[in-house]
Amino acid sequence: MTLTLYSNPMSRGRIARWMLEETGQPHEVVHLDYGPPMQAPAYLAINPMGKVPALVHDGRVVTEYAAICAYLADTFPEAGLKPTDTSAYWRWLFFGAGPLEGAVVLKALGHEVPADKRGFVGFRDIGTMAGVLVDWLERNEWLAGDSFSAADVATGSQIRYGHQFGTLPHHPVLDAYVARLNARPAWIRANAADDAALAATRAGGAAAGGAKAGSDG
């Protein structure tokens, strides 16, 4: 059995790496630089979008961070990352990959949907989005209810990134939730590994006259 994650330490590949750590399965992480490496024919054969993350499991390819999280939870049920009652699990997994990410990315780009065009998008303003999350997490320890799941890896990462980049407002309930995420041993391991890879990339880029950064994937 082989699990290979193609990633970059400045991408959503961090989410997939965390999920791999949560499964406890042996895996390899291949970091690709932005630009030519992601557009090389060999990689485009894996992901024609030319972006990361992409997971290859015994020759099977899964792309998109939320799909990778869901796939790994299904494939390794012994890790307990998919609850028996999946109603809240699927709801919040797709909330993060769809409405929440759409809203925070648009905000990060400095755009706002005109009031008369809001019916065209699948999300609401950031304040409303944050309020929905606060209301749920006031009543539930984790997104799927009482147990940590792949939904917390995927959507929880979007909440963390929203705080990190200032695209999602802080609230004591959300801050406490992110603190619980940050205490996960698998997150600590994955984050340390990606931070080390990022430091090595920056050091190599500085030696070569400057590294190119990105956030694709």
**Residue 62 belongs to a domain with what CATH number?**
3.40.30.10
Show the domain range for 8: 3-79+186-207
* CATH code for the domain of 140: 1.20.1050.10
Judge if 95 and 30 occupy the same domain: no
Judge if 49 and 119 occupy the same domain: no
55 neighbors 3 (Cβ within 8 angstroms): yes
Judge if 108 and 55 occupy the same domain: no
**If we measure between CA atoms, which residue out of 141, 125, 126, 127 comes closest to residue 173?**
141
d(CA 167, CA 164): 8
Residue 215 resides in a domain: no
- Residue 213 confidence (pLDDT) above 50: no
At residue 205, the pLDDT reads 62
Residue 70 resides in a domain: yes
Judge if 101 and 159 occupy the same domain: yes
- Residue 209 confidence (pLDDT) above 50: no
6 neighbors 52 (Cβ within 8 angstroms): yes
- Residue 214 confidence (pLDDT) above 50: no
Judge if 149 and 169 occupy the same domain: yes
Residue 213 resides in a domain: no
Judge if 126 and 165 occupy the same domain: yes
> Which pTM does this prediction carry?
0.91
Judge if 105 and 151 occupy the same domain: yes
Residue 217 resides in a domain: no
Judge if 62 and 105 occupy the same domain: no
* Sequence-ordered list of residues with C-beta below 8 angstroms from that of 210, at least 6 positions apart, any chain: none
Query: How confident is residue 212, by pLDDT bands cut at 50, 70 and 90?
Result: very low
Judge if 159 and 100 occupy the same domain: yes
pLDDT in tens, 153-181: 999 999 999 999 999 999 999 999 999 99
- Residue 216 confidence (pLDDT) above 60: no
Percent of the chain whose predicted confidence (pLDDT) is above 70 = 94
pLDDT in tens, 57-66: 999 999 999 9
Query: How confident is residue 116, by pLDDT bands cut at 50, 70 and 90?
Result: confident
At residue 114, the pLDDT reads 83
Could you give the number of structural domains in the chain?
2
Query: How confident is residue 206, by pLDDT bands cut at 50, 70 and 90?
Result: low
Judge if 128 and 173 occupy the same domain: yes
Residue 216 resides in a domain: no
In degrees, rounded to 5, the angle at the alpha carbon of residue 20 between the alpha carbons of residues 18 and 23 is 115
144 neighbors 88 (Cβ within 8 angstroms): yes
At residue 26, the pLDDT reads 98
User: What is the average pLDDT across 180-199?
Assistant: 97
Residue 126 resides in a domain: yes
Judge if 51 and 108 occupy the same domain: no
Of residues 215 and 195, more confidence is placed in 195
Residue 131 resides in a domain: yes
Judge if 99 and 178 occupy the same domain: yes
